[in-house]
Chains A and B, each alone.
Chain A
Amino acid sequence: MVEPLLEVRGLRTHFPILSKVLRRRVGTVRAVDGVDLTVMPGEVLGIVGESGSGKTTAGKSILRLIEATAGSIAFEGREITGLSTAAMLPLRRRMQIVFQDPMSSLNPRMTVGRILSAPFEIHGVARGAQARGHVVDLLRLVGLPEEAVDRYPHEFSGGQRQRVGIARALALRPALIIGDEPVSALDVSIQAQIMNLLKRLQGELGLTYILISHNLGVVSHICDRVAVMYLGRIVESGPREALFFDAKHPYTEALLAAVPSPDPGARRRSVPLDGDIPSPANPPTGCAFHPRCPQAMARCAVEAPPPVMLAGGHSVACHLHPG
């Protein structure tokens, strides 16, 4: 039996809303509000959702870049929520993140060589000429020329900068990489290059990914499993094919129907969803989706549906599917 690489239970990340003058707590934004996730080694899990669904906060909470309010996060069998900064340091080598916009996540005053040798130096793996050797290997791995070492981030195109961001994440041979919209800022022709690179690296290095994205086409292309988030909770998760072709939750169905097809013949499958996503500071009672749900029942307004396991590892939290 293979152990999960990552097991998240009951993850909650709440942010206080403070009053303007006295900074008193006047409310709470429930950005992540009870998330369970299991990620097996070598798996690619996609987390999809719209703005404000909590997908980015969930990712950052898992890496402890944001402190969670409650819940447990077990990485390689070890609980990490209570660990001190010093105790986290060796684990940080094992879990990395790639951000959306490489221009704002790469230091503009450092050469690519310095950016990429920093992880080796911080973790005491290598320095000087040895670190430089590692950097050249990394550049080759992500398809950049060796000359990139002496150049600055602004001298690269968006796609090349994202290659630098990926190289930095790979430097210390992590087990888990969380990609937060890693291809969203890129043009479509470049997006394909980076998606292929991520997929190739995953195979070659045996990596595990959590890919956070609002782009369902991207997620459908490289993920093995997909979780759909709405207002801080996972409403449905399952294997790629089940989720895209046998969706159970009305929100997943609406989301899929709203994605425009790149083929002019294929017109929309149904009427688009009405209204906006509600504020996570004031989420609806019961099922958070019920005010927008075309199939809502009286019960949905009062009682939050628990996730129910269906066949084939497919799970849904909806009163229409009572197990």
Chain B
Amino acid sequence: MTSAGEGTVALHVSNLSVSFRIPGGVLPAVDGVSFELRHGETLGLVGESGSGKTLTSLAVLRLLETPPAQVTADVIMFEGRDLHRIGESEMSDLRGARLSMVFQEPMTSLNPLMTIGRQIDEPLIRHLGLSGAAARAQTVELLDRVGIPRPAEAARSYPHQLSGGMRQRVMIAIALACRPSVLIADEPTTALDVTIQAQILTLLRELQDEMGTAILLITHDLAVIAQTADRVAVMYAGRIVETGPVAELFARPLHPYTEGLLRSVPRIVRTPLATLPEIPGVVPAPGNLPDGCAFAARCDFADPTCHQQRPILAAQGPDREVACWHPRHG
């Protein structure tokens, strides 16, 4: 299953924008985002708060309320269909079946009044047409597979009876129940302790290898990206500013923002630096973006061009893209 179509495109997003209608105007939050997620790979979408990474994923899944949100896109291609244009019933047949998601806080995404088992049975019955008994048998198997001890018993328990790490395992079981071709994982380990995070990331990787699922991993944590992603897209102020294979992008970042971000992570080293390199200033507020590069005001290398003209995301060597007038390591 893994080899089928590996390297070909599982999800193609082109020119996706999200804005919000607010009293007195329109607030752009995601601005012309394009990326490809390939079969079997993990693409890390990394950015700080407000960079638009979560809105991007919610727009792809069509989980944003419109209005107040307005979503536009040239195309969002998934398994031969344009997700931006298909009807709502077709979309909900795909969502949770072929295209699935895991969110940060499993306590708020699980139904507190339903047993764990029923919440996993549901997609199996709805999307795969299994009988109740067959679904439950598969549910128990899934719970066992995601590392829940005494799975038959756990299926009869409620979310609050499980720890945070166990709840996230349940979320993963629900998301992968129908063997989706694409999984969108939004900060799946951010609420978890580091030893539990390591367990969950290992589990996701194993399941991906088994099922060949492509994962769009959304996180603010560069270390999580370093350890799990194959390729990375870096977002800043609603736009993708750089993409590339993880090892190359971390070793030779092209965008000064990526470079600054990587340098400001505190590393566990024998002799720490006296001062940690910092990125001066703050992210510009949405609705208040400059005409030129959104990072220019914080950038050491900015010149008048950067302040006046916005750089577009363009190829820079094989499998690398950057939106910068003066790329680093270029």
Chain A positions within 8 Å of B, measured between CB atoms, are: 50-51, 157-160, 187-193, 195-196, 199-200, 214-218, 220-222, 241, 244-245, 254-265, 267-268, 272-274, 276-277
B22 to chain A, nearest CB (A): 16
Of A157, A188, A193, A276, the contact of B222 (CB 8 Å cutoff) = A188
Interface readout for B282-299 with A: 1 if CB under 8 Å, 0 if not?
110000000000000000
Kindly report which residue of chain B lies nearest to residue A265, judged by CB atoms: B247
Q: Which of B48, B198, B260, B264 contacts A273 (CB 8 A)?
A: B198
B282 contacts which chain A residues (CB < 8 A)? 157, 159-160, 190
Chain B 153-172: CB-based contact to A (< 8 A → 1; otherwise 0): 00000000001111000000
- Report which residue of B194, B275, B283 has the largest number of chain A beta carbons within 10 angstroms of its beta carbon: B194
- Determine, out of B105-113, B120-128, B223-231, B319-327, the stretch whose residues face the partner at the interface: B223-231
Select one of B194, B196, B265 contacting A188, CB under 8 A.
B265
Q: List 29 A-B contacts (CB under 8 A).
A: A50-B194, A158-B49, A188-B222, A189-B278, A190-B282, A192-B277, A192-B278, A193-B279, A196-B276, A196-B278, A217-B223, A220-B266, A221-B272, A221-B273, A245-B270, A256-B268, A258-B197, A259-B194, A260-B197, A260-B227, A262-B226, A262-B262, A263-B226, A264-B226, A272-B198, A273-B195, A273-B198, A273-B199, A276-B196
Docked pose: A272 CA to B204 CA in angstroms? 14
Q: Any chain A CB within 8 A of the CB of B8?
A: no
Across the interface, B266 reaches (CB within 8 A) one of A159, A195, A267, namely A195
Mask, B213-255, CB within 8 Å of A = 1, is 0000000111110110000000000000000001100110000
**B227 adjacent to A192 (CB under 8 Å):** no
> Chain A at the B interface: mostly helix, strand, loop or mixed?
helix
Contact call A264/B227, Cβ cutoff below 8 A: yes
Q: Does B90 contact A (CB under 8 A)?
A: no
Q: Which residues of A contact B226 (CB under 8 A)?
A: 260-264
B contacts with A, residue count (CB < 8 A) = 47
Instruction: Report B76 CB to chain A, min CB distance, Å.
Output: 28
Residue among A187, A189, A245 with max Cβ neighbours from chain B (10 Å): A189
Q: Are B261 and A189 in contact (CB under 8 A)?
A: yes
A272 with B199, Cβ < 8 A, contacts A187-B48, A188-B261, A262-B267 known? yes
Residues of B within 8 A of A (CB): 48-49, 163-166, 193-199, 201-202, 220-224, 226-227, 246-247, 250-251, 260-262, 264-270, 272-280, 282-283
A89 CA to B227 CA, complexed, in Å:
49
Given the known inter-chain contacts A187-B48, A268-B227, A272-B199, please indicate yes or no for A214 contacting B193, CB distance below 8 A. yes
4 tightest A-B contacts by CB?
Answer: A272-B198, A189-B279, A192-B264, A187-B48
Other A-B pairs beyond A196-B278, A276-B163, 9, CB < 8 Å: A189-B264, A215-B266, A220-B266, A221-B273, A260-B197, A260-B226, A265-B247, A267-B227, A274-B199
CA distance A216 to B262 in the complex (A): 17
CB-CB < 8 A to B48: which residues of A? 187-189
When distances are taken between beta carbons in the complex, the residues of chain A under 8 Å from B164 are 51
A230 to B267, CA, bound (A): 23
Determine whether the beta carbon of A262 is less than 8 Å from that of B194. Answer: no
Instruction: Name the A residues within 8 Å of B274 (CB-CB).
Output: 199
Closest-CB distance, B242 to chain A (whole angstroms) = 15
Contact A192–B268 (Cβ < 8 Å): no
Contact assessment for A263 and B250 in the assembled complex, using a CB-CB cutoff below 8 Å: yes
Residues on A with C-beta less than 8 A from B222 are 188, 262
CA distance A168 to B226 in the complex (A): 37
| B-chain residues with CB within 8 Å of residue A245 when the two chains form the complex | 270
Complex Cα–Cα for A277 and B165 (A): 10
Name the one of B163, B247, B260, B266 contacting A218, with C-beta atoms under 8 angstroms.
B266
Could you say which residues of chain B place their CB within 8 Å of the CB of A157?
282
Q: A157's closest neighbor in chain B, by CB?
A: B282
Chain A nearest Cβ from B44, distance in angstroms: 10
Q: Tell whether, in the assembled complex, residue B224 and residue A260 are in contact, meaning their CB atoms are under 8 Å apart.
A: yes
Q: CA of A50 to CA of B198 in the docked complex: distance in angstroms?
A: 13
CB pair B268 A264 closer than 8 Å: no
Contact: B276 with A192, CB < 8 Å?
yes
Task: List residues of chain B with CB within 8 A of the CB of A214.
Answer: 193-194
In the complex the two chains form, what is the Cα distance from A159 to B50 in whole Å? 14
* Alpha-carbon gap, A272 to B166, bound state (A): 15
Give the nearest-CB partner of B46 in chain A: A188
Partner of A258, one of B195, B250, B264, B275: B195
Q: Name the residue of chain A whose CB is nearest to the CB of B221.
A: A260
Q: Which residue of B lies closest to A292 (CB)?
A: B195
How far does the alpha carbon of A109 sit from the alpha carbon of B36 in the complex, in Å? 46
Name the A residues within 8 Å of B276 (CB-CB). Answer: 192, 195-196, 221
CA separation between A64 and B250, bound complex, in Å?
45
Chain B residues with Cβ below 8 Å from A192 are: 264, 266, 276-279
* A272 to B278 Cα, complex, angstroms: 31
**A258 with B194, Cβ < 8 A, contacts A264-B226, A264-B247, A276-B163 known:** yes
Instruction: For B195, list chain A residues within 8 Å (CB).
Output: 50, 254-255, 258, 272-273
What's the minimum C-beta distance from A151 to chain B, rounded to whole angstroms? 15
Q: How far is the CA of A217 from the CA of B308 in the complex (A)?
A: 38
- The residue among A160, A190, A264 with the most chain B CB atoms within 10 A of its own CB is A264
Chain B residue contacts of A259, Cβ below 8 A: 194, 223, 268
From B198, B268, B270, B283, A216 is in contact (CB under 8 Å) with: B268
Which residues from B are CB-within-8-Å of A188? 48, 220, 222, 261, 264-265
Do the beta carbons of B261 and A244 come within 8 Å of each other?
A: no
Whether A217 lies near B268 (C-beta < 8 A) is yes
Partner of A187, one of B201, B220, B267: B220
Cα A189 to Cα B247 with chains together (Å): 21
Chain A residues within 8 Å of B198, by CB: 257-258, 260, 268, 272-273
**Cα(A144)–Cα(B166), bound, Å:** 43
